[in-house]
């Protein structure tokens, strides 16, 4: 159900899917009268509040983020606005919010302006960056390619220069994937490090507030506002590479990531080490992650999905409904597997060590790629991204040299609460 709204959605209004999946396509839908709606050709994100010279919500004057513009993923409460969660039926029954989400309030108090509310994949349960109802935000860093999701709109807005900071979420990779596809810096903080109050959940055991920027300086400044003031420190010296993870990526992506890791280690006076993470163990961890994620997602949204059967993107609806088949015993078993995964990852990622891996299995696929290609990319990418989710660990995405002319990202995963150690690896001009 929509945030802070106990009402059951009424009968859904008619809606038509976009014809071409581009940002110019729009659903045939009557929006609430208090909402100004456009699809912007300038910024590439689908904004539900028109960007203009005047921000939607101005920040506090004189703060450390004064002059920075924030694109807010359409999952966060913004006072005076409705949360849409990437779905017009959700938006129709959503109340006008009377307070900001905690992360939005923190950025505003630090002086950042909320430029507008940007698109998300439906209910945040996708990595593709497409939306059946609103189309696909263009990727300014890779024209004709997907932005990645589910933080698709903020990523497109930041990549296009329409915002400086993209405020998003990461449950199974929704900061890391669009950062990789759009050539951005991205941070998925330690789970729970950033207050999730005012956020529509997907799977609370993994939901994490994150951010994306074009520059290291913007990411550092935004993180300084949102993160707790301290945590385990230590200089990163050991860069761990698991061949089983590298093998999930395409050849050009592996080469770009290998080069980026070794260059970073040289600059930071560190060492690269190969480690053994057996493929069989990774597959067990991935299965447990998916079991818990889908079970939680169904508990959160079963009522809405059930009331709007056939009106969500089919693959997303199927993902939700798969959670209905998870028994309590199966979920308990999966949580025990995840507890073991966390213990092993925490033992591996001691202070000063990071796990280096591709942020995604490939560069962004073409917009309109066939379902088989999307499914293959999603399956390989999730096996990379689920590690940080399973462990509740911070993950930093850094753009690499391009792979065949397309952006890809290096992902660095650190131990719990070592967010600032990761951020210290950023090179600020």
Active site members = 73, 150, 174
Under a CB-based contact definition with an 8 Å cutoff, are residues 80 and 99 in contact? no
Give φ, ψ of 394 to 5 degrees. -75, 145
Burial 12-41 (b: 16+ CB within 10 A, else e): beeeeebeebebebbbebebeeeeebebbe
- Say how many C-beta atoms besides its own lie within 10 A of residue 233's C-beta: 12
Q: Specify burial of residue 327 (Cβ count, 10 A radius: 0-12, 13-18, 19+).
A: exposed
Is residue 244 exposed (0-12), middle (13-18) or buried (19+ Cβ within 10 Å)?
middle
**Residue ranges of the alpha helices (H) in 111-234?**
152-160, 176-182, 216-226
Q: Residue 248 carries which DSSP code?
A: T
Spatial CA neighbour of 179 closest among 218, 207, 210, 134: 210
Q: Is 11 exposed, middle or buried (0-12, 13-18, 19+ CB in 10 A)?
A: exposed
Residue 57, C-beta contacts closer than 8 angstroms, at least 6 positions apart: 78, 79, 80, 100, 104, 108, 113, 114
Give the H/E segment covering residue 293.
Answer: helix 279-307
Phi, psi (degrees; rounded to nearest 5) at 281: -65, -40
CA distance 58 to 110: 11
Backbone angles phi, psi at 112, to 5 degrees: -70, 145
């Amino acid at each position: 159900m929509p945030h802070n709204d106990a009402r059951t959605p009424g009968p859904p209004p008619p809606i038509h899917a976009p014809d071409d999946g581009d940002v110019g396509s729009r659903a045939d839908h009557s929006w609430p009268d208090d909402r100004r709606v456009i699809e912007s050709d300038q910024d590439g994100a689908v904004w539900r509040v028109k960007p203009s010279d005047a921000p939607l919500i101005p920040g506090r004057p004189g703060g450390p983020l004064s002059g920075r513009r924030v694109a807010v993923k359409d999952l966060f409460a913004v006072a005076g606005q409705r949360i849409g969660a990437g779905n017009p039926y959700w938006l129709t029954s959503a109340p006008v919010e009377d307070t900001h989400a905690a992360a939005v309030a923190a950025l505003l108090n630090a002086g950042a302006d909320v430029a507008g509310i940007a698109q998300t994949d439906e209910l945040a349960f996708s990595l593709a960056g497409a939306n059946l109802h609103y189309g696909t935000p263009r990727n300014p860093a890779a024209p004709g390619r997907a932005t990645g999701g589910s933080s698709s709109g903020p990523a497109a807005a930041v990549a296009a220069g329409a915002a400086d900071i993209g405020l998003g979420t990461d449950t199974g990779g929704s900061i890391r994937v669009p950062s990789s596809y759009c050539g951005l810096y991205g941070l998925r903080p330690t789970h729970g490090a950033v207050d999730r109050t005012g956020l529509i959940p997907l799977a609370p055991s993994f939901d994490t507030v994150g951010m994306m920027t074009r520059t290291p300086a913007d990411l550092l400044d935004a993180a300084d506002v949102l993160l707790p003031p301290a945590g385990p420190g230590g200089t990163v010296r050991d860069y761990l590479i698991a061949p089983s993870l590298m093998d999930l990526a395409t050849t050009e992506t592996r080469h770009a990531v290998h080069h980026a890791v070794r260059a970073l280690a040289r600059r930071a006076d560190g060492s690269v080490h190969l480690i053994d993470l057996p493929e069989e163990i990774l597959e067990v961890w991935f299965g447990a992650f998916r079991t818990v994620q889908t079970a939680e997602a169904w508990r959160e949204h079963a009522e809405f999905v059930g009331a709007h059967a056939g009106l969500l993107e089919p693959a997303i609806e199927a993902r939700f409904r798969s959670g209905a088949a998870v028994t309590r015993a199966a979920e308990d078993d999966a949580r025990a597997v995840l507890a073991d995964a966390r213990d092993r990852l925490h033992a591996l990622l001691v202070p000063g060590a990071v796990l280096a891996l591709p942020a995604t299995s490939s560069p962004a696929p073409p917009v309109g790629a066939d379902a088989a290609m999307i499914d293959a990319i999603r399956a390989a990418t999730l096996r990379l991204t689920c590690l940080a989710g399973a462990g509740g660990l911070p993950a930093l995405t850094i753009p690499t040299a391009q792979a065949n002319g397309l952006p890809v990202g290096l992902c660095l995963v650190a131990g719990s609460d070592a967010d600032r150690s990761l951020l210290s690896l950023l090179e600020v001009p």
